[in-house]
């Protein structure tokens, strides 16, 4: 059992699990058909203290430690991967405001982020720039008390629901190297010149709203600058460690869930007069899956513990992100195969898991980028 989780974390997990049993599990299939998680669910999460519990009490949170974030992300993933947008809000976007925002910005936005009145997103990716953040082309030119923003973002998680979007943009086009000209601007719903494109249709994560965002002479108050101008790239580098850790936590949980589904199925399904779990080939495949999952959990728990201790574990987080997401993909494929024809049917959870997990190897930095980071830390 993870040493960073204590009795209060387990009590919290039980309370959250009961909440999800009542408010999420039975509705998830409908949310997938609707293509979005209702705002009402977000508000219920906030009302029950499940949004950003780590936020300082001054701004409406509980000053909870990261262990609570781990519990929330694990339990949300057990319901379904489309709830990833809540983890993004809780542990990826809102921390930017808490870390780099002014006291006025925190007072204005954080309490509503905790209550669920405000849903957040972060806009990094562009049609022509993904993992290469220095290559973004969205610009923000300061004119008096405003920044005039022009550009386009795509694949934005929570893009439809978002009331606040942290937009990665270039405020200094002449900066050398280019990443020194990047800043973070908080763009609010209703900002003139800010529009949303279509809700994108994805292979998986059907209930998660992902959208294109457009900025055409969008007029953003200068007071919405997050932190210092030109420091945006460095802020992103500081926060990407936790973002990638959240992805690894979700992928590990998904792998554990898929294994449980598969083990249960092979013990019930019969062929040639016995359960298919009695065939050695099936036993060996389950043994291999169980071993990889156990290795992933042990490594992940160690990385989480170091992250809680505020150690620099960029390389280890990159290792966890790439290896665990790839492992989860292998588990999903094996799980579907061992379900036979039923594994290809949408009514079986393994089918949904199979289509939901691949994107985890792409977002928060592709696994190829993770290997580049690891190589750099190896001095290569």
What tens digit of pLDDT does each residue of 122-161 get?
999 999 877 778 789 999 999 999 999 999 999 999 999 9
Going from the C-alpha of 223 to that of each of 137, 151, 233, 266, 329, the distances in angstroms are 22, 20, 19, 59, 43
CA distance 70 to 221: 35
Task: Write the CB contacts of 95 (distance below 8 Å, at least 6 apart in sequence).
Answer: 239, 242
Residues 6+ apart with CB under 8 A from 248: 300, 303, 317, 320, 321, 324, 325
Strands 120-123 and 164-170: parallel
pLDDT of 233 reads 94
Regions of the chain with pLDDT less than 50: none
Q: Is 190 left (phi over 0), alpha (psi -120 to 50) or beta?
A: left
Q: Which member of 243, 292, 326, 334 is catalytic?
A: 243
Give the model confidence (pLDDT) of 47-87 as tens digits. 999 999 999 999 999 999 999 999 999 999 999 999 999 99
Four-residue CA torsion sign, 24, 84, 185, 197? negative
Nearest to 262 by CA among 318, 334, 322: 334
pLDDT at residue number 177:
84
What are the structural domains, with CATH classification, of the chain? 7-118 (1.10.540.10), 122-229 (2.40.110.10), 234-377 (1.20.140.10)
pLDDT at residue 244, as a whole number? 97
Clarify whether 305 is annotated catalytic.
no
Q: SS3 sequence, the chain? A: CCCCCCHHHHHHHHHHHHHHHHHCHHHHHHHHHHCCCCHHHHHHHHHCCCCCCCCCHHHCCCCCCHHHHHHHHHHHHHHCHHHHHHHHHHHHHHHHHHHHCCHHHHHHHHHHHHHCCCCEEEECCECCECCCHHHCCCEEEEECCEEEEEEEEEEEECCCCCCEEEEEEECCCCCCCHHHHEEEEEEECCCCCEEEEEECCCCCCCCCCEEEEEEEEEEEEHHHEECCCCCHHHHHHHHHHHHHHHHHHHHHHHHHHHHHHHHHHHHHCEECCEEHHHCHHHHHHHHHHHHHHHHHHHHHHHHHHHHHCCCCCHHHHHHHHHHHHHHHHHHHHHHHHHCHHHHHCCCCHHHHHHHHCHHHHCCCCCHHHHHHHHHHHCCC
Query: How confident is the model over 238-258, as pLDDT tens digits?
Result: 999 999 999 999 999 999 999
Cis peptide before 177 (omega within 30 of 0): yes
**What integer pLDDT is reported at residue 164 of this predicted model?**
98
């Amino acid at each position: 059992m993870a040493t960073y989780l204590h009795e209060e974390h387990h009590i919290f997990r039980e309370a959250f699990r009961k909440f999800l049993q009542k408010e999420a599990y039975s509705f998830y299939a409908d949310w997938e058909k609707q293509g979005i998680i209702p705002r009402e669910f977000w508000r219920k999460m906030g009302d029950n203290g499940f949004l950003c519990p780590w936020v300082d009490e001054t701004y409406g949170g509980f000053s909870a430690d990261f262990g609570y974030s781990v519990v929330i992300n694990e339990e949300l993933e057990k319901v379904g991967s489309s709830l990833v947008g809540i983890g993004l809000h809780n542990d990826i976007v809102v921390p930017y405001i808490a870390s780099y925002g002014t006291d006025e910005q925190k007072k204005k936005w954080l309490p509503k982020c905790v209550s669920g009145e405000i849903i957040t997103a972060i806009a990094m990716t562009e049609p022509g720039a993904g993992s290469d953040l220095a290559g973004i082309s969205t610009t923000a030119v300061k004119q008096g008390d405003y920044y005039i923003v022009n550009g386009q973002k795509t694949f934005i998680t929570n893009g439809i629901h978002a009331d606040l979007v942290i937009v990665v943009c270039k405020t200094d086009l002449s900066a050398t190297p280019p990443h020194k000209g990047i800043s973070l601007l908080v763009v609010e719903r209703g900002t003139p010149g800010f529009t949303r494109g279509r809700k994108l249709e994805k292979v998986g994560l059907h209930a998660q709203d992902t959208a294109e965002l457009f900025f055409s002479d969008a007029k953003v108050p200068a007071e919405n600058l997050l932190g210092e101008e030109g420091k945006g790239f460095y802020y992103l580098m500081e926060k990407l460690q936790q973002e990638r850790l959240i992805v690894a936590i979700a992928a590990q949980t998904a792998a554990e869930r898929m294994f449980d589904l598969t083990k249960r199925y092979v013990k019930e399904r019969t062929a040639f007069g016995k359960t298919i779990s009695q065939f050695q080939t099936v036993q060996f495949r389950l043994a291999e899956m169980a071993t990889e999952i156990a290795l992933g959990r042990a490594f992940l728990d160690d990385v989480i513990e170091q992250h809680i201790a505020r150690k620099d574990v960029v390389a280890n987080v990159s290792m966890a992100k790439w290896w665990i997401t790839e492992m989860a993909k292998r588990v999903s494929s094996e799980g579907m195969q061992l379900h036979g024809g039923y594994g290809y049917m949408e009514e079986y959870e393994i089918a949904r898991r199979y289509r939901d997990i691949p994107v985890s190897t792409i977002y928060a930095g592709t696994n190829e980028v993770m290997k580049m980071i690891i190589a750099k830390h190896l001095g290569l």
